[in-house]
């Protein structure tokens, strides 16, 4: 795989070229350092709402249909996503149409009109999206977990915001927020795939040199404070209880992250993982069970998630805590360590076969201010993780005073703290 090439334009905007001459497609992605953690309480959900509005019309393409029909006519796949710490817009098409999708994505990012009528219509769409997530407990429980860990601060708020806030947001809110965050120095354009060429770099420079400059709005520092296990149990009459159980970790810059990622894979990274074997195969209590290390700019999590039979939730919690402790107290076997590393590396390589995922891989690194590492360099760091490093990081993290639980299920006035305290 060709190493990425990074360029910085005169206005501070960064462009990353990831050439893959053998790839049949090219992806253009524009990412910006703006997400829910950059918001205040009275505009929570604006980053995500703004992402939607960029698809609703520009001066060159006045309607959502103008944008969609042009991209569809190019045979493109296109979308956007908002996370806690950045927002990305992208389009992917066959190589011959790379220049055209760059033109459309740049126009959407640089010149949204925020037409009043479209804001009002999209308000309803956003609220329906929030309703959809409320009706999807497998996803909603992750939001509750962020709430129980971080509470009433940006890291604990829902990316989509609340319906009350969404109903109140105005065109002026979009314009002000955009002027604080959608700036050259906080924008990254990633072009990956078969036509990631200097020609497209020059086109991107032509488009984005007009992006207005300004002083970037900052993200408030996430406050970490916990002395004992915490829980959030939400009643819902569902056929399956959904839970997330895990510990506070550290930020994305911490070199212990490679050992933590391997530990997460051993715990719940595949069908041979400890939790899959214990919770699904042995207890027959769940269909899905997984574990992950999710690391951010100034905070992080090491957690598992599962959808379980109501009557077996106590059993699952106890078994899971036992597996967390066992991973901390007992050294991992050599074969299990090797299997987890190969699983991590193999899944990463396969996930990057598409030009879109490849672009996202490098865009996220650049947004976080990390040194751009190729998949092969990442694989080497994973391969260097030792048994002692895994045990060391878990001894620092897997502690009851860092433990949190979120549950959605048919439980009224039910607490699981007795199990969490051990």
The count of C-alpha atoms lying within 13 angstroms of the C-alpha of 346, restricted to the half-sphere facing its C-beta, is 9
| Helix (DSSP H) and strand (DSSP E) numbers for the chain | 16, 11
Question: What is the C-alpha to C-alpha distance for residues 65 and 53, in angstroms, rounded to an integer?
Answer: 13
Question: What is the C-alpha to C-alpha distance for residues 99 and 411, in angstroms, rounded to an integer?
Answer: 54
SS3 (DSSP) at 28: strand
Strands 230-235 and 87-94 come out as: unpaired
- Nearest by Cα to 103 from 7, 30, 18, 10: 30
Q: Which of 20, 37, 39, 51 is catalytic?
A: 51
Buried-exposed string 79-105: b where 16+ CB fall within 10 A, e elsewhere: ebebbbbbbbbbbbbbbebbbbbbbbb
Decide if 186 contacts 216 (C-beta within 8 A): yes
- Token pair of 278, please? 């214990």
Question: What is the C-alpha to C-alpha distance for residues 316 and 301, in angstroms, rounded to an integer?
Answer: 20
Question: What is the C-alpha to C-alpha distance for residues 165 and 41, in angstroms, rounded to an integer?
Answer: 9
- Nearest by Cα to 261 from 379, 357, 116: 379
**Which residues fall within 8 angstroms of residue 297, CB to CB, at 6 or more apart?**
37, 85, 219, 222, 251, 252, 368
Phi/psi of residue 87, each to 5°? -125, 140
Decide if 51 is catalytic.
Answer: yes
- Token pair of 336, please? 């299990």
The length of the chain is: 422
User: Which residues participate in catalysis according to the annotation?
Assistant: 51
């Amino acid at each position: 795989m060709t190493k990425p090439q990074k360029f910085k334009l005169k206005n501070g905007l960064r462009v990353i070229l990831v050439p893959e001459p053998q790839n049949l497609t090219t992806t253009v992605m524009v990412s910006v350092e703006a997400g829910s953690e950059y918001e205040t309480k009275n505009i929570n959900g604006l980053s995500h709402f703004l992402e939607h509005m960029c698809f609703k019309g520009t001066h060159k393409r006045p309607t959502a249909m103008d944008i969609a029909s042009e991209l569809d006519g190019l045979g493109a796949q296109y979308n956007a996503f908002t996370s806690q710490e950045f927002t990305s817009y992208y389009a992917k098409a066959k190589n011959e149409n790379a220049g055209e999708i760059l033109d459309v994505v740049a126009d959407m990012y640089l010149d949204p009109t925020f037409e009043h009528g479209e804001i009002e219509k999209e308000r309803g769409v956003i609220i329906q999206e929030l309703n959809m997530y409320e009706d999807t407990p497998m996803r909603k429980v992750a939001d509750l977990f962020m709430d129980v860990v971080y509470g009433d601060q940006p890291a604990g708020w829902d990316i989509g915001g609340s319906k009350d806030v969404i109903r109140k947001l105005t065109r002026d809110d979009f314009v002000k927020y955009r002027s604080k965050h959608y700036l050259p120095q906080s924008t990254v354009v990633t072009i990956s795939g078969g036509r990631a060429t200097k020609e497209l770099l020059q086109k991107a420079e032509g488009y984005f040199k007009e992006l207005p400059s300004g002083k970037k709005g900052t993200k408030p520092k996430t406050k970490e404070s916990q002395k004992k296990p915490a829980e959030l149990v939400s009643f819902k009459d569902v056929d399956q209880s959904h839970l997330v159980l895990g510990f506070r970790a550290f930020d994305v810059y911490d070199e212990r992250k490679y050992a933590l990622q391997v530990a997460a894979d051993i715990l719940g990274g595949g069908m041979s993982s400890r939790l899959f074997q214990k919770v699904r195969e042995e207890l027959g209590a769940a269909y899905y069970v997984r574990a992950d290390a999710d690391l951010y700019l100034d905070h992080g999590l090491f957690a598992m998630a599962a959808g379980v039979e109501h009557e077996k939730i106590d059993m699952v919690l106890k078994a899971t805590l036992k597996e967390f402790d066992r991973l901390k107290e007992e050294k991992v076997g050599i074969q299990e360590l090797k299997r987890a590393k190969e699983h991590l590396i193999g899944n990463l390589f396969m996930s990057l076969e598409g030009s879109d995922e490849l672009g996202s891989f490098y865009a996220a690194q650049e947004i976080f201010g990390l040194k751009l590492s190729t998949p092969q360099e990442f694989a080497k760091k994973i391969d260097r993780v030792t048994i002692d490093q895994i045990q060391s990081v878990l001894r620092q993290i897997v502690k009851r005073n860092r433990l949190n639980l979120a549950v959605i299920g048919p439980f009224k006035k039910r607490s699981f703290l007795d199990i969490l305290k051990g």
